[in-house]
């Protein structure tokens, strides 16, 4: 990569505007969900509250590395982003930040986050977090995404790691409970992302990306969304079956999955872009509420 991309010349930018551009590279909303799931993993790792100093260092370190991966993704996909309405505003797509600036920013964030995790948390968490960075920024973004319509399924493994990172930060190991949470996010990712891809299919087609609705059509993709929500429902029962959670979580999981499956069923039977958009937005709320229910159950069940 070079800095000679065919963009308009870089204008003189004020410091606040430049800071906002760097912030945009980190994809704040995506990283917030990642950090939230990691914090849930930390809180579930012990019966009471974890050591706040370790938890704080782990939260900041994971945030820094996740933000670094997001910035690297923007760098690699700048030409694709420029052709898609959903991402054309990104600073790299608009030529507001050079490749050198973006790469340096990503490297500094990754280095700072990794150092913090190694020194203030534990080496296992640092290496797992760095592996997640490589999985998302390199294996998914560079290799899988432009090559196969199963990109989001295979690449979803790295996106499913946050609760494992949180658990490892507090316990210094990866337990079966952490792997159950990882499995839930892994199975959640395809219906979540394919709902977005359905109503953004022309964007992906223009960008030349082999997303499932582009390669296999809308009907096949909608069926996959429905099937994955059914498998996801089964996976969300594992915390209760394994004794990790109680009845409070089970009730929340059944209710949340009923709505998600309802959306997927409607999407399969009578498609509309509006319904796909609603399904995508609900999927984000679904994951946040599901993990929040795990957390509430963790602290309230022993008191009941």
Between 17 and 40, the more confident residue is 40
Domain boundary among 134, 157, 174: 174
Q: Are residues 201 and 226 in the same domain?
A: yes
Domain interval for residue 153 = 14-174
In a domain, 237, yes or no: yes
Q: Are residues 208 and 162 in the same domain?
A: no
State residue 304's pLDDT score: 67
In a domain, 54, yes or no: yes
In a domain, 61, yes or no: yes
Q: Are residues 226 and 80 in the same domain?
A: no
Average per-residue pLDDT for the chain: 90
Instruction: Find out whether 291 and 249 touch, Cβ atoms under 8 Å.
Output: no
91-142: pLDDT as tens digits: 888 888 899 999 999 999 999 999 999 999 999 999 999 999 998 888 888 8
Q: Are residues 197 and 123 in the same domain?
A: no
Q: Are residues 89 and 220 in the same domain?
A: no
The count of domains in the chain is 2
Q: Are residues 106 and 71 in the same domain?
A: yes
| Neighbouring C-beta atoms of residue 301, cutoff 10 Å | 13
Residue 273 has pLDDT above 50, yes or no: yes
In a domain, 5, yes or no: no
Q: Are residues 233 and 110 in the same domain?
A: no
In a domain, 196, yes or no: yes
For the chain, the straight-line distance linking the first and the last C-alpha, in angstroms and rounded, comes to 59
Q: Are residues 198 and 154 in the same domain?
A: no
Distance CA 11, CA 286 (A): 42
Q: What is the CATH number of the domain that holds 205?
A: 1.20.120
Write the CB contacts of 20 (distance below 8 Å, at least 6 apart in sequence).
Answer: none
State residue 11's pLDDT score: 47
37-66: pLDDT as tens digits: 999 999 999 998 999 999 999 999 999 999
Domain boundary among 119, 148, 174: 174
Between 11 and 23, the more confident residue is 23
In a domain, 3, yes or no: no
In a domain, 9, yes or no: no
φ/ψ region of 189 (left if φ > 0, alpha if ψ in -120 to 50, else beta) reads alpha
Q: Are residues 122 and 253 in the same domain?
A: no
Q: Are residues 155 and 239 in the same domain?
A: no
Task: State the pTM of this model.
Answer: 0.88
In a domain, 184, yes or no: yes
Q: Are residues 182 and 169 in the same domain?
A: no
- Best CA proximity match to 236, nearest among 174, 294, 150, 276: 294
Domain boundary among 141, 174, 207: 174
Q: Are residues 216 and 299 in the same domain?
A: yes
Q: What is the CATH number of the domain that holds 168?
A: 1.10.357.140
């Amino acid at each position: 990569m070079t800095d000679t991309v065919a963009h308009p010349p870089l204008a003189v930018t004020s410091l606040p505007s430049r800071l906002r551009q760097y912030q945009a590279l980190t994809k704040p909303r995506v990283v917030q969900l990642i950090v939230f799931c990691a914090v849930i993993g930390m809180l579930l790792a012990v019966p009471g509250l974890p050591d706040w100093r370790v938890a704080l260092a782990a939260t900041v370190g994971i945030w820094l590395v996740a933000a670094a991966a997001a910035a690297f993704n923007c760098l690699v996909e700048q030409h694709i982003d420029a052709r898609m309405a959903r991402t054309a505003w990104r600073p790299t797509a608009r030529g507001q930040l050079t490749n050198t600036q973006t790469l340096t920013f990503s490297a500094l964030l990754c280095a700072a986050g990794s150092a913090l995790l190694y020194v203030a948390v534990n080496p296992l968490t640092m290496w797992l977090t760095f592996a997640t960075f490589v999985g998302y920024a390199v294996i998914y973004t560079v290799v899988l995404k432009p090559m196969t319509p199963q990109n989001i399924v295979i690449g979803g493994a790295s996106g499913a790691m946050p609760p494992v990172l949180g658990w490892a930060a507090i316990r210094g190991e990866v337990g079966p409970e952490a792997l159950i949470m990882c499995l839930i996010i892994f199975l959640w990712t395809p219906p979540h992302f394919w709902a977005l891809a359905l109503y953004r299919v022309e964007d992906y087609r223009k960008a030349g990306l082999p997303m499932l609705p582009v390669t296999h059509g809308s009907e096949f993709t909608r069926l996959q969304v429905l099937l994955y929500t059914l498998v996801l429902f089964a996976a969300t029962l594992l915390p209760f079956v394994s004794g990790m959670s109680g009845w409070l979580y089970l009730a929340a999981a059944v209710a949340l999955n009923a709505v998600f499956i309802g959306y997927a069923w409607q999407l399969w039977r009578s498609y509309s872009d509006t319904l796909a958009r609603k399904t995508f937005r609900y999927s984000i709320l679904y994951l946040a509420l599901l993990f929040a229910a795990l957390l509430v159950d963790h602290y309230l069940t022993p008191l009941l």
